[in-house]
């Protein structure tokens, strides 16, 4: 018999890693070959962007799976962290790009422009829409790419840390915690909708697809670069999270999910673990957002409305929570299907008395599938792999053997 305690290699513990990375690499190759810039141009630049964005959503879903599927915290705020990451990179993209435009406009002047004139020009350009020409304080680092990249990590991370500390410390769990995270998301979104917050209110940040200094590269090429970067980020995150969740750390997380009080009595600082996971996954979401929004081109406060985070939970549920590949499958499958249905490409179904128009009915379909998955297939699409591998979990329906049957097995005891 093999020793179940013997240390097994990373890949043996995580057979899905090879599959996911292999399929991802093949997918990258395929998209590259079909892309307009390096390949045959079978697919459009905007479709390359859609695929790249989908990979970023998969990355956010991975984070969501760790915080919800493994640790049991149904956060309805992770897309807010995702959007914050987008805002942070967006500030630099917009600032640097506007600066270029201002410089070229001032180049025709007889005198070289002063730093003050440039700053003034940039501020007027960016904030004209909200009736201001002052550069807000939160744009203090917008000129610096390294600083804004640091903020991509720091802003979601610190917000999650502070929020999580307050929530976990008072032992808020379950539905109440979900509501609290949703309230945080809603408050943040409403706040950003205001014009005087320094992030251009409901206009949001736009023109993010234009990379400063690379105007000559063209969107065909840029879209492919971001696609590759998104794929690389997803691959790295998958490796990292597979490593983290397959060892003892993952075992503690699943134990917290199933019975956190019991974990405390084993001496584990449950709140510390939750905070670690909550903030860590918030950072991952921030990074995913920083890759997503340059591909989307625009970000506005609607992006961090609570519904976005609810979608994230739905993807993970449909894909199968508690397993990393489930999250990837769910996010890719549902978000691509969603953009197909809502993009008006799905054929309407005429019923004679009524025509089913998918743009309107897609959400109903999605909601119904979510309910169906929750009720009838709690393991989601990922559960199909268990079925095909003949794996099943113990099903006692919560009833233990009677107290006087001793250490008999279920089947032995029924005789």
Partner 1 sequence: MTALLEVSGVCVTFDGFRAINNLSFTINEAELRAVIGPNGAGKTTFMDIVTGKTRPDEGSVTWGERAVSLLKMSEAAIARAGVGRKFQRPTVFEDQTVGENLILALKSRRGPLSALKFRATGAGRTRVAELAREVGLADQLGRKAGELSHGQKQWLEIAMLLAQEPRLLLVDEPAAGMTLAERERTTRMLVEIAKTRAVVVVEHDMDFVRRLNCKVTVLHEGAVLAEGSLDHVTANPQVIEVYLGRG
The residue range among 28-36, 78-86, 227-235, 250-258 that interacts with partner 1, by the rule CB under 8 A, is 250-258
193 binds partner 1 (CB under 8 A): no
170 binds partner 1 (CB under 8 A): no
The residue range among 88-96, 196-204, 212-220, 390-398 that interacts with partner 1, by the rule CB under 8 A, is 390-398
Q: CA torsion sign, 161 to 163 to 166 to 168?
A: negative
312 membership: H or E segment, kind and range:
helix 306-319
Residue 184 near residue 305 (C-beta atoms within 8 A): no
Among 26, 190, 359, 408, binds partner 1 (CB under 8 A): 408
Task: Write b or e for each residue in 171-201: b if 16 or more Cβ atoms lie within 10 A of its Cβ, otherwise e.
Answer: eeeeeebbebbbebbbebbeebbeeeebbbb
State the residue for tokens 């993952």.
250
407 binds partner 1 (CB under 8 A): yes
Phi/psi for 42 (5° steps) reads: -70, -35
Cβ proximity to partner 1, 360 vs 405, nearer residue: 405
Binding mask 349-388 for partner 1 (x = CB under 8 A): ----------------------------------------
270 binds partner 1 (CB under 8 A): yes
Q: Is 322 left (phi over 0), alpha (psi -120 to 50) or beta?
A: left
For residue 61 the two structure tokens come to 């879903």
The residue range among 261-269, 286-294, 303-311, 364-372 that interacts with partner 1, by the rule CB under 8 A, is 261-269
The residue range among 50-58, 90-98, 182-190, 403-411 that interacts with partner 1, by the rule CB under 8 A, is 403-411
Q: Is 204 left (phi over 0), alpha (psi -120 to 50) or beta?
A: left
169 binds partner 1 (CB under 8 A): no
Binding mask 209-248 for partner 1 (x = CB under 8 A): -----------------------------------x--xx
Residue spans of beta strands (DSSP E) within 17-81: none
Residues with Cβ within 8 Å of 146's Cβ and at least 6 positions away in sequence, in order, are none
Smallest gap from residue 18 Cβ to partner 1 (A): 22
- Dihedral, 102, 291, 279, 21 alpha carbons, nearest 10: -160
Cβ proximity to partner 1, 388 vs 393, nearer residue: 393
Smallest gap from residue 72 Cβ to partner 1 (A): 12
Smallest gap from residue 296 Cβ to partner 1 (A): 33
255 binds partner 1 (CB under 8 A): yes
SS (HEC) of 314-365 = HHHHHHCCCCHHHHHHHHHHHHHHHHHHHCCCCCCEECCCCEECHHHHHHHH
Identify the CA nearest to 220 among candidates 48, 20, 14, 411: 48
390 binds partner 1 (CB under 8 A): no
Which residues of the chain form contacts with partner 1 (CB under 8 A)? 1, 3-7, 244, 247-249, 251-252, 254-255, 258-259, 261-270, 272-273, 276, 393-394, 396, 400-410, 413
């Amino acid at each position: 018999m093999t020793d179940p305690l013997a240390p097994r290699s990373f890949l043996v513990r995580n057979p899905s890693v090879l599959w996911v990375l292999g399929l991802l690499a093949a997918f990258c190759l395929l998209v590259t070959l079909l892309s307009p810039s390096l390949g045959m141009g079978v697919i459009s630049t905007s479709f390359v962007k859609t695929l790249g964005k989908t990979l970023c959503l998969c990355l956010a879903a991975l984070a969501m799976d760790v915080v919800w599927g493994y640790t049991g915290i149904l956060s309805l705020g992770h897309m807010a962290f995702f959007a914050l990451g987008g805002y942070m990179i967006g500030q630099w993209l917009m600032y640097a790009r506007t600066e270029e435009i201002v410089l070229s406009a001032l180049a025709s002047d007889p005198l070289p422009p002063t730093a003050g004139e440039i700053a003034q020009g940039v501020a007027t350009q960016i904030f004209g829409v909200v009736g201001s020409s002052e550069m807000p304080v939160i744009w203090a680092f917008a000129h610096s790419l390294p600083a804004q990249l640091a903020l991509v990590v720091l802003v979601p991370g610190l917000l999650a840390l502070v929020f999580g500390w307050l929530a976990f410390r008072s032992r808020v769990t379950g539905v109440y915690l979900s509501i609290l995270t949703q309230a945080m998301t809603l408050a943040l979104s409403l706040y950003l909708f205001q014009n005087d917050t320094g992030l251009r209110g409901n206009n949001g940040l736009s023109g993010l697809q234009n990379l400063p200094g690379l105007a000559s590269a063209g969107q065909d090429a840029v879209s492919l670069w971001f696609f590759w970067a998104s794929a690389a980020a997803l691959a790295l995150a998958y490796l990292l999270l597979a490593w983290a969740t397959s060892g003892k750390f993952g075992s503690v997380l699943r134990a917290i999910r199933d019975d956190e009080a019991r974990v405390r009595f084993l001496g584990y600082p449950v709140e510390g673990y939750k905070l670690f996971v909550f903030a860590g996954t918030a950072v991952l979401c921030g990074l995913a957002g920083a890759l997503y929004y340059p591909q989307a081109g625009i970000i506005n406060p609607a992006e961090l409305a609570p519904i976005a985070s609810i979608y994230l939970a739905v993807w993970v549920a449909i894909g199968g929570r508690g397993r990393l590949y489930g999250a990837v499958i769910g996010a890719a499958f549902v978000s691509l299907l969603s953009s197909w249905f809502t993009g008006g490409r799905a054929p309407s179904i005429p019923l004679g008395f009524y025509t089913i128009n998918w743009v309107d009915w897609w959400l109903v379909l999605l909601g119904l599938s979510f309910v169906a998955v929750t009720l009838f297939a709690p393991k989601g699409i990922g559960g199909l792999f268990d079925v095909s591998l003949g794996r099943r979990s113990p099903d006692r329906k919560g009833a233990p053997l009677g107290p006087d049957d001793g250490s008999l097995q279920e089947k032995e005891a029924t005789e």
